């Protein structure tokens, strides 16, 4: 298992039992089998906002996804696609790259 979102869009990320972690990479049959064993689904939530000149805009989302991925790797649960939008407009409004909702 690599870092956050490592090879996420090409090769399925699997848990320590070799089962897929991400809901969007599973077939309906795989989901049906998963929920029989573990019906917990993590929904990572982050934001797209400025974090200074050297940090990525999706830092909060990347951290949330990474935590969920590591938990699900060990526990056999599932990670849904993250919600990556939203911030505190009063604090970040007008800063390039921030997407307030």
Dump pLDDT digits (tens) for 37-66.
999 999 998 888 888 888 898 898 999 999
pTM above 0.85, yes or no: no
pLDDT (0 to 100) of residue 66: 93
All residue ranges of the chain with pLDDT < 50 are 1, 5
Give the pLDDT of residue 18.
94
State the pLDDT at residue 9. Answer: 62
**pLDDT given for residue 58 in this prediction:** 87
| CA distances from residue 77 to 12, 20, 44 in whole angstroms, order as listed | 15, 9, 13
Q: How many residues does the chain have?
A: 101
Distance between CA atoms of 39 and 99, rounded to whole angstroms?
32
Q: Which of 38, 36, 62, 40 is nearest to 49 (CA)?
A: 62
């Amino acid at each position: 298992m690599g870092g956050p979102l490592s090879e996420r869009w090409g090769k399925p990320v699997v848990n320590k039992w070799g089962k897929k972690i991400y809901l969007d990479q599973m077939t309906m049959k795989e989901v049906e089998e998963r929920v029989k064993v573990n019906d917990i689904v993590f929904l990572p939530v982050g934001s797209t906002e400025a974090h200074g000149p050297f940090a990525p805009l999706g830092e909060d989302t990347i951290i949330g996804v990474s935590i969920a991925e590591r938990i699900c790797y060990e526990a056999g649960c599932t990670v849904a696609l993250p919600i990556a939008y939203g911030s505190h407009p009063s604090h970040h409004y007008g800063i390039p790259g921030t997407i307030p909702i």
